[in-house]
Structure 1
Protein backbone atom coordinates (compact mmCIF):
# COMPACT_ATOMS: atom_id res chain seq x y z
CA UNK A 1 0.00 0.00 0.00
CA UNK A 2 1.31 3.43 -0.91
CA UNK A 3 0.76 6.23 1.57
CA UNK A 4 1.62 9.92 1.30
CA UNK A 5 4.45 9.49 3.82
CA UNK A 6 6.47 6.42 4.74
CA UNK A 7 7.96 6.31 8.24
CA UNK A 8 10.86 3.87 8.58
CA UNK A 9 11.93 3.01 12.13
CA UNK A 10 15.47 1.94 12.91
CA UNK A 11 15.62 2.24 16.70
CA UNK A 12 17.59 4.83 18.61
CA UNK A 13 16.74 6.72 21.78
CA UNK A 14 13.29 7.67 20.49
CA UNK A 15 12.18 4.05 21.05
CA UNK A 16 14.21 3.24 24.17
CA UNK A 17 12.77 1.80 27.38
CA UNK A 18 14.35 2.03 30.81
CA UNK A 19 14.67 -1.15 32.84
CA UNK A 20 15.36 -0.46 36.52
CA UNK A 21 16.53 -4.01 37.18
CA UNK A 22 19.16 -3.71 34.47
CA UNK A 23 19.96 -0.01 35.02
CA UNK A 24 20.23 0.43 31.28
CA UNK A 25 18.18 1.41 28.27
CA UNK A 26 16.96 -1.07 25.69
CA UNK A 27 15.16 -0.39 22.44
CA UNK A 28 11.53 -1.43 22.56
CA UNK A 29 8.72 -1.50 20.04
CA UNK A 30 8.43 1.69 18.03
CA UNK A 31 6.20 4.40 19.46
CA UNK A 32 5.72 6.19 16.13
CA UNK A 33 2.20 4.87 15.47
CA UNK A 34 1.09 5.96 18.94
CA UNK A 35 2.70 9.40 18.67
CA UNK A 36 1.07 10.09 15.30
CA UNK A 37 -2.30 8.80 16.54
CA UNK A 38 -2.09 11.00 19.65
CA UNK A 39 -1.30 13.97 17.38
CA UNK A 40 -4.43 13.08 15.36
CA UNK A 41 -2.48 12.97 12.10
CA UNK A 42 -4.87 12.54 9.18
CA UNK A 43 -2.29 12.63 6.39
CA UNK A 44 -2.06 9.05 5.05
CA UNK A 45 1.12 7.36 6.25
CA UNK A 46 2.48 3.92 6.84
CA UNK A 47 5.10 2.77 9.33
CA UNK A 48 7.64 0.08 8.52
CA UNK A 49 10.06 -1.23 11.12
CA UNK A 50 13.48 -1.95 9.63
CA UNK A 51 15.53 -2.64 12.75
CA UNK A 52 15.70 -1.88 16.46
CA UNK A 53 19.26 -0.78 17.09
CA UNK A 54 21.14 1.92 18.90
CA UNK A 55 22.70 4.02 16.15
CA UNK A 56 26.18 3.27 17.53
CA UNK A 57 25.50 -0.38 16.61
CA UNK A 58 24.59 0.39 12.98
CA UNK A 59 27.11 -0.72 10.38
CA UNK A 60 27.51 -0.26 6.63
CA UNK A 61 25.22 -3.23 5.93
CA UNK A 62 22.49 -1.62 8.06
CA UNK A 63 22.93 1.69 6.24
CA UNK A 64 22.73 -0.13 2.90
CA UNK A 65 19.48 -1.80 4.05
CA UNK A 66 18.04 1.59 5.05
CA UNK A 67 19.05 3.09 1.68
CA UNK A 68 17.53 0.14 -0.19
CA UNK A 69 14.25 0.46 1.73
CA UNK A 70 14.12 4.17 0.85
CA UNK A 71 15.04 3.63 -2.80
CA UNK A 72 12.54 0.76 -3.20
CA UNK A 73 9.65 2.52 -1.45
CA UNK A 74 6.84 3.74 -3.69
CA UNK A 75 6.51 6.85 -1.51
CA UNK A 76 8.57 9.92 -2.34
CA UNK A 77 8.23 11.47 1.15
CA UNK A 78 10.04 9.50 3.83
CA UNK A 79 10.71 10.03 7.53
CA UNK A 80 13.33 7.84 9.23
CA UNK A 81 13.50 7.55 13.01
CA UNK A 82 17.13 7.06 13.93
CA UNK A 83 19.52 7.32 16.83
CA UNK A 84 21.26 10.67 17.01
CA UNK A 85 24.88 9.53 17.39
CA UNK A 86 25.31 8.31 13.79
CA UNK A 87 22.36 10.02 12.10
CA UNK A 88 24.65 12.08 9.86
CA UNK A 89 26.50 8.95 8.70
CA UNK A 90 23.23 7.35 7.57
CA UNK A 91 22.26 10.65 5.92
CA UNK A 92 25.45 10.44 3.83
CA UNK A 93 24.49 6.92 2.70
CA UNK A 94 21.12 8.30 1.54
CA UNK A 95 22.55 11.25 -0.44
CA UNK A 96 22.73 9.36 -3.78
CA UNK A 97 18.95 8.72 -3.77
CA UNK A 98 17.31 11.21 -6.10
CA UNK A 99 13.74 12.42 -6.34
CA UNK A 100 12.73 11.78 -2.73
CA UNK A 101 12.38 13.98 0.32
CA UNK A 102 14.06 12.07 3.15
CA UNK A 103 13.97 13.37 6.72
CA UNK A 104 15.92 11.76 9.54
CA UNK A 105 14.72 12.40 13.08
CA UNK A 106 15.50 11.18 16.54
CA UNK A 107 15.25 12.20 20.16
CA UNK A 108 17.67 13.05 22.92
CA UNK A 109 15.28 11.50 25.49
CA UNK A 110 13.06 8.43 24.95
CA UNK A 111 9.54 9.15 23.66
CA UNK A 112 8.14 7.28 26.65
CA UNK A 113 9.53 10.00 28.98
CA UNK A 114 7.27 12.93 29.81
CA UNK A 115 10.02 15.48 29.09
CA UNK A 116 11.06 13.95 25.76
CA UNK A 117 11.69 15.97 22.62
CA UNK A 118 10.48 13.01 20.52
CA UNK A 119 6.93 14.16 19.82
CA UNK A 120 8.00 17.64 18.75
CA UNK A 121 10.86 16.31 16.61
CA UNK A 122 8.62 13.75 14.90
CA UNK A 123 6.07 16.46 14.14
CA UNK A 124 8.80 18.65 12.64
CA UNK A 125 10.03 15.74 10.53
CA UNK A 126 6.52 14.87 9.36
CA UNK A 127 5.95 18.50 8.29
CA UNK A 128 9.38 18.77 6.67
CA UNK A 129 8.72 15.65 4.60
CA UNK A 130 5.65 17.38 3.16
CA UNK A 131 7.18 20.75 2.27
CA UNK A 132 10.93 20.37 1.76
CA UNK A 133 12.33 19.79 -1.71
CA UNK A 134 13.84 16.44 -2.64
CA UNK A 135 17.01 15.75 -0.70
CA UNK A 136 18.14 14.53 2.70
CA UNK A 137 17.24 16.55 5.79
CA UNK A 138 17.63 16.24 9.55
CA UNK A 139 14.90 17.65 11.82
CA UNK A 140 16.19 18.12 15.36
CA UNK A 141 16.10 20.76 18.10
CA UNK A 142 13.41 22.83 16.38
CA UNK A 143 15.52 23.24 13.24
CA UNK A 144 15.54 21.63 9.82
CA UNK A 145 19.10 21.09 8.64
CA UNK A 146 20.43 20.09 5.23
CA UNK A 147 21.87 16.69 6.14
CA UNK A 148 25.28 17.49 4.70
CA UNK A 149 25.58 20.70 6.74
CA UNK A 150 24.94 19.54 10.30
CA UNK A 151 26.68 17.71 13.11
CA UNK A 152 25.79 16.57 16.60
CA UNK A 153 27.55 18.65 19.24
CA UNK A 154 27.84 16.11 22.03
CA UNK A 155 28.92 18.70 24.61
CA UNK A 156 25.82 20.82 23.93
CA UNK A 157 23.66 17.71 23.34
CA UNK A 158 22.23 19.38 20.25
CA UNK A 159 22.52 19.45 16.49
CA UNK A 160 24.29 22.47 15.01
CA UNK A 161 24.83 23.74 11.49
CA UNK A 162 28.31 23.47 10.01
Structure 2
Protein backbone atom coordinates (compact mmCIF):
# COMPACT_ATOMS: atom_id res chain seq x y z
CA UNK A 1 0.00 0.00 0.00
CA UNK A 2 1.49 3.36 -1.06
CA UNK A 3 -0.69 5.44 1.22
CA UNK A 4 0.93 7.14 4.21
CA UNK A 5 -0.74 7.03 7.60
CA UNK A 6 -0.55 10.22 9.65
CA UNK A 7 -1.28 9.79 13.36
CA UNK A 8 -1.86 13.01 15.29
CA UNK A 9 -1.23 13.13 19.02
CA UNK A 10 -1.20 16.86 19.78
CA UNK A 11 1.81 18.91 20.76
CA UNK A 12 2.84 22.42 19.80
CA UNK A 13 2.20 21.83 16.10
CA UNK A 14 -1.56 21.97 16.81
CA UNK A 15 -1.60 24.48 19.69
CA UNK A 16 -3.90 27.49 19.80
CA UNK A 17 -3.12 30.60 21.82
CA UNK A 18 -5.89 33.07 22.54
CA UNK A 19 -3.81 35.92 23.98
CA UNK A 20 -0.58 36.49 25.86
CA UNK A 21 -2.22 35.78 29.23
CA UNK A 22 -4.09 32.64 28.22
CA UNK A 23 -3.03 29.08 28.56
CA UNK A 24 -2.80 27.16 25.31
CA UNK A 25 -5.16 24.53 24.03
CA UNK A 26 -4.41 21.85 21.50
CA UNK A 27 -6.90 22.36 18.72
CA UNK A 28 -8.02 20.40 15.72
CA UNK A 29 -5.08 19.18 13.68
CA UNK A 30 -3.80 21.48 10.94
CA UNK A 31 -2.12 18.63 9.04
CA UNK A 32 -4.81 18.31 6.35
CA UNK A 33 -4.72 22.05 5.69
CA UNK A 34 -0.92 22.13 5.48
CA UNK A 35 -0.81 19.21 3.05
CA UNK A 36 -3.59 20.73 0.92
CA UNK A 37 -1.73 24.05 0.81
CA UNK A 38 1.39 22.18 -0.30
CA UNK A 39 -0.69 20.47 -3.02
CA UNK A 40 0.33 17.00 -1.83
CA UNK A 41 -1.10 14.39 -4.19
CA UNK A 42 0.21 11.20 -2.58
CA UNK A 43 -2.70 9.47 -0.81
CA UNK A 44 -2.67 9.60 2.95
CA UNK A 45 -4.99 8.75 5.80
CA UNK A 46 -5.04 10.83 8.98
CA UNK A 47 -6.15 9.43 12.32
CA UNK A 48 -6.34 11.54 15.48
CA UNK A 49 -5.22 9.46 18.45
CA UNK A 50 -5.26 12.21 21.08
CA UNK A 51 -4.78 15.92 21.70
CA UNK A 52 -2.11 16.10 24.38
CA UNK A 53 0.96 18.07 25.23
CA UNK A 54 3.80 15.55 25.08
CA UNK A 55 4.69 16.27 28.72
CA UNK A 56 1.29 14.76 29.59
CA UNK A 57 1.80 11.53 27.62
CA UNK A 58 1.77 8.35 29.68
CA UNK A 59 3.12 4.87 29.05
CA UNK A 60 -0.46 3.88 28.18
CA UNK A 61 -0.56 6.67 25.56
CA UNK A 62 2.71 5.46 24.05
CA UNK A 63 1.33 1.91 24.00
CA UNK A 64 -1.73 3.23 22.13
CA UNK A 65 0.52 4.92 19.56
CA UNK A 66 2.55 1.72 19.15
CA UNK A 67 -0.60 -0.40 18.75
CA UNK A 68 -2.02 1.99 16.13
CA UNK A 69 1.22 1.72 14.17
CA UNK A 70 1.49 -2.05 14.50
CA UNK A 71 -2.17 -2.59 13.52
CA UNK A 72 -2.14 -0.20 10.56
CA UNK A 73 -2.10 -1.65 7.04
CA UNK A 74 0.24 1.18 5.97
CA UNK A 75 3.98 0.56 6.08
CA UNK A 76 4.91 4.26 6.11
CA UNK A 77 3.71 6.36 9.02
CA UNK A 78 4.11 9.96 10.20
CA UNK A 79 3.30 10.77 13.83
CA UNK A 80 2.78 14.39 14.87
CA UNK A 81 4.01 14.77 18.43
CA UNK A 82 5.10 17.36 20.96
CA UNK A 83 8.84 17.92 21.01
CA UNK A 84 9.47 17.65 24.76
CA UNK A 85 9.09 13.85 24.91
CA UNK A 86 9.38 12.94 21.23
CA UNK A 87 12.65 11.07 21.77
CA UNK A 88 11.08 9.10 24.62
CA UNK A 89 8.22 8.02 22.35
CA UNK A 90 10.70 7.07 19.62
CA UNK A 91 12.39 4.78 22.15
CA UNK A 92 9.03 3.24 23.04
CA UNK A 93 8.36 2.45 19.36
CA UNK A 94 11.67 0.72 18.67
CA UNK A 95 10.23 -2.81 18.71
CA UNK A 96 7.92 -2.27 15.73
CA UNK A 97 9.35 -4.17 12.77
CA UNK A 98 8.86 -3.64 9.06
CA UNK A 99 7.51 -0.10 9.20
CA UNK A 100 9.00 3.32 8.58
CA UNK A 101 7.83 5.63 11.36
CA UNK A 102 8.71 9.33 11.33
CA UNK A 103 7.89 11.48 14.35
CA UNK A 104 7.56 15.20 13.74
CA UNK A 105 6.59 18.29 15.68
CA UNK A 106 7.15 22.00 15.81
CA UNK A 107 8.86 24.43 18.13
CA UNK A 108 6.11 26.98 17.45
CA UNK A 109 2.48 26.34 16.50
CA UNK A 110 1.63 25.79 12.83
CA UNK A 111 -0.87 28.62 13.11
CA UNK A 112 2.00 31.09 13.67
CA UNK A 113 3.36 32.80 10.55
CA UNK A 114 6.99 32.00 11.33
CA UNK A 115 6.48 28.41 12.48
CA UNK A 116 8.77 25.56 11.56
CA UNK A 117 5.74 23.24 11.37
CA UNK A 118 5.17 23.29 7.61
CA UNK A 119 8.82 22.60 6.80
CA UNK A 120 9.03 19.85 9.42
CA UNK A 121 5.84 18.15 8.23
CA UNK A 122 7.00 18.25 4.61
CA UNK A 123 10.31 16.77 5.58
CA UNK A 124 8.62 14.02 7.61
CA UNK A 125 6.20 13.22 4.77
CA UNK A 126 9.13 12.90 2.35
CA UNK A 127 11.25 10.91 4.81
CA UNK A 128 8.40 8.45 5.36
CA UNK A 129 8.50 7.71 1.64
CA UNK A 130 12.24 7.10 1.32
CA UNK A 131 13.71 6.14 4.71
CA UNK A 132 14.24 2.48 5.50
CA UNK A 133 12.16 0.70 8.12
CA UNK A 134 12.81 2.05 11.61
CA UNK A 135 11.87 4.95 13.85
CA UNK A 136 13.02 8.42 12.80
CA UNK A 137 12.61 12.00 14.00
CA UNK A 138 12.36 14.81 11.43
CA UNK A 139 13.21 18.11 13.08
CA UNK A 140 15.46 21.11 12.45
CA UNK A 141 16.12 20.12 8.83
CA UNK A 142 17.62 16.80 9.86
CA UNK A 143 16.40 13.21 9.86
CA UNK A 144 17.58 11.67 13.13
CA UNK A 145 17.75 8.01 14.09
CA UNK A 146 14.99 7.82 16.71
CA UNK A 147 17.16 5.70 18.97
CA UNK A 148 20.04 8.19 19.07
CA UNK A 149 18.57 11.66 19.45
CA UNK A 150 17.57 14.09 22.16
CA UNK A 151 16.10 17.55 22.44
CA UNK A 152 18.73 20.00 23.66
CA UNK A 153 16.71 22.63 25.49
CA UNK A 154 19.70 24.95 25.77
CA UNK A 155 19.67 25.51 21.99
CA UNK A 156 15.99 24.55 21.46
CA UNK A 157 16.92 21.97 18.83
CA UNK A 158 17.31 18.24 18.37
CA UNK A 159 20.81 16.76 18.37
CA UNK A 160 22.18 13.30 17.71
CA UNK A 161 23.34 11.32 20.72
Alignment TM class, shorter chain as reference = over 0.9
Correspondence list, 1:10-29, <5 A: 10-20=9-19, 23-29=22-28
How far off its partner does 1:23 sit?
1.7
* CA distance in structure 2 between the aligned counterparts of 1:76 and 1:146, rounded to whole angstroms: 18
Partner of 1:30: 29
* CA distance in structure 2 between the aligned counterparts of 1:139 and 1:21, rounded to whole angstroms: 29
Runs of 4+ in 1 over 4 A off after TM superposition: none
Residues 36, 95 of structure 1: alpha-carbon distance in 2 compared, 3 angstrom cutoff: same
Partner of 2:81: 82
Partner of 1:64: 63
1:53 and 2:52 aligned = yes
Classify the secondary structure of the residue corresponding to 1:79: strand
How far off its partner does 1:64 sit?
0.3
Segments of structure 2 that go 5 or more residues without pairing to the other structure are none
Contact 1:137 1:145 in 2 (8 A): yes
Segments of structure 1 that go 5 or more residues without pairing to the other structure are none
Residues 151, 40 of structure 1: alpha-carbon distance in 2 compared, 3 angstrom cutoff: same
Aligned residues: 161
Contact 1:12 1:52 in 2 (8 A): yes
Classify the secondary structure of the residue corresponding to 1:37: helix
Give RMSD over aligned pairs: 1.1
1:139 and 2:141 aligned = no
